[in-house]
Structures are given as structure tokens and as C-alpha cells.
Structure 1
Amino acid sequence: MRPSGQDTGMTTAEYAMGTIAACAFAAVLYRIVTSDTVSSGLQSLIGKALNAQF
């Protein structure tokens, strides 16, 4: 039996706001990861890992 007067889930507007926030966060992460600084850092890290002596 469901208690009366309580919300059981998100409404359509809340889903829309959550989707917009997730898309904005993804866009910011994409800009950060594709920036020159991060790209050169990742290339350097991968290069060092491939040239590591075991």
C-alpha cells in the first residue's frame, strides 16, 4: 500500500532539467578533455608508459 501525499518519482519537468544538466556537464567535460593542455598531457603519459623499462 502506497502512503498518500508523498512523491514516488520524478516528474517530466524534473527529468528534463536533469537531462539538460547532464548534457551541460558532458559538454564541459568534452571541452576539457579535448583541450590542448589535456591532450598533450595524455600523449606524454601514454608515451612514457609505452617506453617504460621493465
Structure 2
Amino acid sequence: MTINWIRSVKTRLGLLVVDESGMSTVEYAIGTIAAAAFGAILYTVVTGDSIVSALTNIITRALNTNV
């Protein structure tokens, strides 16, 4: 009876170690949070004064070429 009990416990522990039923949801959530954080940082950088003025200068120089 003890051997059967040990086998049963080993089998259950093996299933717990291998079970990944919630992993895809967790990975999806972490990926979504990371993408949102990256988007927020990118928005902050792009809307900063230095970037806006640099882009404006580039466009102005491109449109005011003297050929």
C-alpha cells in the first residue's frame, strides 16, 4: 500500500511541474504591459520640445532647398 501511495504522489507532483495551463495568459499580460510602457515612453520622448524642434528644422531645411 505504501508503494502505491508513493507512486500516486510522484504522479501528481509530476503533473504539477509539467502543467502550464496559465502560462500563455500570463505571458500575454506581461507583453501587453511592456508594450504599453514602451508606447508611453516613446510618446513622452517624441512629444518633447527637443524632438519637435529637431523635426521642424529638418522639414524646414528640406522644403527650403536653394537649387
TM-score range, shorter chain: 0.7 to 0.9
Structure 2 gap segments, 5+ residues each: 1-17
AA matched with 2:50: T
Runs of 4+ in 1 over 3 A off after TM superposition: none
Amino acid at match of 2:28: Y
Q: SS state of the match for residue 11, structure 1?
A: helix
Larger radius of gyration: 2
TM-score, scaled relative to structure 2: 0.64
The one of the two structures with greater contact order (alpha-carbon pairs below 8 A, sep at least 6) is 1
Q: State how many pairs are aligned.
A: 47
Higher helix share: 2
What TM-score, normalized by structure 1, do the two folds share? 0.78
